[in-house]
Amino acid sequence: MAEDVRPRIGIVTGLQAGAFIGLFLGFSLSVVSALTQPEALLRLVQLMCITPLACALLLGPFLGWRRAPLVDMNDPIEELREMLKPYNEGQGKWRVLSHVRSDGRTVRIDLHNSMQPLTIVAATLDLTERFPIRYIVGRGEQRSREPMLRGQVLAYIEERVTLNRRRRTSSSVEVLPSSIIEHMEATHRMHRRLFYLLPIILFFAWLEMR
């Protein structure tokens, strides 16, 4: 059901993506043209100018028909802070005002100083289907403030979240919405296909221009 309500990327963005692919392809064809017939300057300019336009017209509608990731565009910080108010532990300890921050898209929850970090993770994990949440857990080293925190949170998340939705850094664990992962995987598949197709196009172009 979630897949049905996800919006299309749109024709404008599709045309822009097609033109960008065409720009790269046109540059590659221009290099082949310059190497085979350096004196054919007009053809070189045509390849640079016409190829992006042609790719935009041919690929744009197809690229624009793809589904965009379903992400809540509203800043979720106030909603999340209201939800986590019961876990306030007082001044000098864990509080939503000092430990829950947002950059407009990703919410950062610092789990340091909390007596119930796994409870906070459990309360917010379902929200990662709407927007990314980054849990600040430290490096997990002996000299860290809470050396056991990273291992506990990571083990809890690994039991409940698939591998492709998890992102680990040196001091945090981030969980991404499924729609973003699906969109990224579809984009990577398309990039691989273009990567395999480009040498074939350049080879036949070289045969034609030599």
| Tens-digit pLDDT profile for residues 39-91 | 888 888 888 899 999 999 998 888 888 776 666 567 788 889 999 999 999 88
CA 17 remoteness from chain centre: 16
CB within 8 A of 56, min separation 6: which ones? 15, 16, 18, 19, 22
> What per-residue confidence (pLDDT) applies to 71?
60
**Per-residue pLDDT at 121 exceeds 60:** yes
Helix/strand/coil (H/E/C) assignment for every residue in 181-205: HHHHHHHHHHHHHHHHHHHHHHHHH
Q: Where are the domains of the chain?
A: 2-70+181-209, 77-176
For the segment 191-206, what is each residue's pLDDT rounded down to a tens digit?
A: 788 888 888 888 888 8
Q: What is the DSSP string of the chain?
A: -HHHHSPB--HHHHHHHHHHHHHHHHHHHHHHHHHH-TT-HHHHHHHHHHHHHHHHHHHHHHHHTSBPP----S--HHHHHHHHGGG---TTS--HHHHEEE-SS-EEEE-TT-S-HHHHHHHHGGGGGTS-EEEE-----TTSSSTTHHHHHHHHHHHHS-GGGEEE-SSEEEE--HHHHHHHHHHHHHHHHHHHHHHHHHHHHHHHH-
Q: What is the pLDDT of residue 5?
A: 60
pLDDT of the residue at 130:
86
Handedness of CA 88, 73, 126, 170 (dihedral sign): negative
The pLDDT value recorded for residue 34 is: 87
pLDDT in tens, 168-182: 998 999 999 887 888
Instruction: Tell whether the model's pLDDT for residue 120 goes beyond 90.
Output: yes
- Residue 3's pLDDT is 46
pTM over 0.85: no
**CA separation for the pair 134, 141 (Å, rounded):** 19
Round to whole Å and give the CA distance between 31 and 24: 11
Q: Which fold has domain 77-176?
A: Ribosomal Protein S8; Chain: A, domain 1 (3.30.1370)
- Distance, CA of 8 to chain centre: 17
Tens of pLDDT, residue by residue over 25-35, are: 889 888 888 88
Residue 1 above 60 pLDDT? no
